[in-house]
């Protein structure tokens, strides 16, 4: 199981393809705060709700100085379909190798319907302007999570 990040850790660097196949790096956002959220799969009910919540609150988060990047193990083609179908504005990147998911502690053993399985752990890591972890939240709920982040950050 991968190690979970703690406040003050350096956020692992990454460069992953977005829905259009363009490379997106955490380093591209230096000087801004970034909410990096990890979700199991595009085009599934919970992940759709979460992505729509982030999209609906993107302007509020951007105004407060936050960029948002959603990471899943999906390939760019599936991410593009997800974005188009749900009219998403949030940046979605794919990590089919699951290396970035593991580096962030968002891949490993979890409980699913009472069984222990290995998979994506729905997580959110808030990275500050210097690339340090401000908050690391694991096993978050798809519904209501964005509202909780906004409240917790005082936005």
Of the listed ranges 13-17, 24-28, 50-54, 142-146, the one predicted with least confidence: 142-146
Both structure tokens of 37 = 């959220």
Distance CA 82, CA 145 (A): 20
Asked if 26 and 11 touch (Cβ cutoff 8 Å), the reply is yes
- In terms of DSSP H, where are the helices of 27-154? 45-56, 58-63, 76-86, 99-103, 145-152
- 47 catalytic, yes or no? yes
pLDDT, tens digit, 9 for 90 and up, residues 66-121: 999 999 999 999 999 999 999 999 999 999 999 999 999 999 988 878 888 899 99
pLDDT digits (tens, 9 = 90+) for 20-74: 999 999 999 999 999 999 999 999 999 999 999 999 999 999 999 999 999 999 9
Q: Which of 19, 47, 125, 136 is catalytic?
A: 47
Q: Alpha carbon of 68 to those of 53, 114, 148: distances in Å?
A: 12, 31, 15
């Amino acid at each position: 199981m991968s190690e979970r990040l703690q406040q003050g850790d350096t956020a692992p660097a990454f460069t992953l393809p977005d829905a259009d196949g363009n490379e997106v790096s955490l380093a591209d956002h230096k000087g801004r705060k970034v909410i990096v959220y990890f979700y199991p799969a595009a085009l599934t009910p919970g992940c759709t709700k979460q992505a729509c919540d982030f999209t609906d609150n993107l302007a509020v988060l951007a105004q407060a100085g936050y960029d948002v990047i959603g990471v899943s193990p999906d390939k760019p083609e599936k991410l593009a379909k997800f974005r188009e179908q749900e009219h998403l504005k949030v940046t979605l990147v794919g990590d089919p190798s699951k290396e970035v998911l593991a580096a962030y502690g968002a891949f490993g053993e979890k409980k699913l319907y009472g069984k222990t399985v290995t998979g994506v752990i729905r997580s959110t890591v808030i990275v500050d302007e210097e690339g340090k972890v401000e908050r690391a939240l694991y096993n978050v709920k798809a519904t209501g999570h964005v509202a909780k982040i906004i409240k917790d950050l005082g936005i």
